[in-house]
Each structure stands twice: as structure tokens, then as C-alpha cells.
A and B are shown apart, each in its own frame.
Chain A
């Protein structure tokens, strides 16, 4: 089984809808991250969390919110989706002893 899972893998939604993307991990890592990938732009950090009581904004947090429900779960929400939020979204985790981040398989989100 995969160490980092994301649901759903694909989602099409309409402008103005609220949507939640979920991430779960079995690696036992405290640190979790949400990234967005657009063609030609690499990955950009949306939010990150170092434990269930710690949430931090990343480079592009506007229009997004997160919830760290447990050590193993980190959810990303789009309160009112807009078309330019169409992208691939990745969750990642990191342990305490290194800076190496491990990614989930991604969610492809389309906002029409």
C-alpha cells in the first residue's frame, strides 16, 4: 500500500463550489505539505503543517484553507472554486530527521 494517499484522484467541479481534497499518510511523519503544480511552473507551496496544532501559509495560500485533523491527515479546501485553480494538487510528508519530502499520487482538479 502507498505511504501517502490522496482522494479523490480526479475531480471536476463548477465555479463557486466548495471542494475538499484529502491526504492521508502511514509514514508516521509530523510534517505535511500541500503543493499545486501548473505546467511549466514546477510545484508551488500552498500550506504546510508541522503538527496538528501548527498550520502555516505557503507561497500561494490565497483562496485555500487547510485542516490537520490528525497526525496522519491533512485536508485542503477550496471555499469557492474558480477556474484558475484548475491544476494538479500534491500532498507531501517529511520526517523529523531529514528534509526529504515524499509525495502522494496527486489530485487532478478541474474547475469549470
Chain B
């Protein structure tokens, strides 16, 4: 089956720093989605990417759809305490809309 690797597994950063994480796959995806999960809550959609090479921003978040269509990147600029959570990438596996999720990147922001 398809393998989707997300890294890093966790990050401990100081408030104000930038954060970068990525997902890579052994297979091509046509859509990449990035989600954030707060403790005790369900994942919330942050950014959707539909085209290879696409760069999309949502406030301090910027995500890119890799040109090979096998990877995607998420950057958070000038982190703040509420950025704490687990960030998941998800790739669209087929036309039925099934998603393959990465294992998540846990972000901890210290003052």
C-alpha cells in the first residue's frame, strides 16, 4: 500500500520561531490537505492543495504541493502559543475521496 511519511514527529520551539514540516509519499497524490488537531478535538482543515507546485497561504501558514506530486510542506511563521497541537498531512488516494494520513507532527511552543 501507499506509504506516507511525515516528519519531524515532534518539535519544541520558542515563541516567534518559524516551523517547517513535510510529508513524503512513495506514490503520487492529486490533492494534499493539511489539518491541525487541538487536544481533545477533531482535526480542523488548514489548507488544501490541488495542483503540483501550488503555494497557498492561510494567515501565518504556508503550504506547498511538491512538483513531483509525492511531497508537501507546511510552514508556520512567527509561532505563537496557540499553534500548539498536532499537524497532519493527508493525501488523496483515489477518486472516491479516500485520504491517507501522515502520523502527525506534534508542535510545542514555549514562551
Interface size class of B (residues with CB under 8 A): 20 to 34
Q: Does B11 contact A (CB under 8 A)?
A: no
- How far does the alpha carbon of A98 sit from the alpha carbon of B104 in the complex, in Å? 23
* B97 and A103 contact, CB distance less than 8 A: no
Is B78 located at the chain interface by the 8 A CB criterion? no
- Contact across chains for A99 and B41 when beta carbons are under 8 A apart: no
Question: In the bound complex, how far is the Cα of B94 from the Cα of A50, in angstroms?
Answer: 14
- Separation in Å of the B44 CB from the closest CB of chain A? 7
Are A103 and B98 also in contact (CB < 8 A) when A40-B103, A41-B103, A42-B103 are? no
**How many residues of A are in contact with the other chain, CB < 8 A?**
24
Decide: A100 and B103 in contact? CB cutoff 8 A. no
Q: Which residues of A contact B59 (CB under 8 A)?
A: none
Determine whether the beta carbon of B98 is less than 8 Å from that of A106: no
B42 in contact with A106 (CB, 8 Å):
yes
Chief secondary structure at chain A's binding surface: strand
Is A100 in contact with B33, judged by CB distance below 8 angstroms?
yes
- Cβ contact of B99, chosen from A40, A50, A101, A102, cutoff 8 A: A101
26 contacts between A and B (CB under 8 A): A40-B103, A41-B103, A42-B6, A42-B101, A42-B102, A43-B90, A43-B101, A44-B101, A45-B98, A48-B96, A90-B43, A94-B97, A98-B48, A99-B31, A99-B97, A100-B33, A100-B45, A100-B48, A101-B45, A101-B90, A101-B97, A103-B35, A103-B42, A103-B43, A103-B44, A106-B40
Residues of A within 8 A of B (CB): 4, 31, 40-45, 48, 50, 56, 58, 90, 92, 94, 98-106
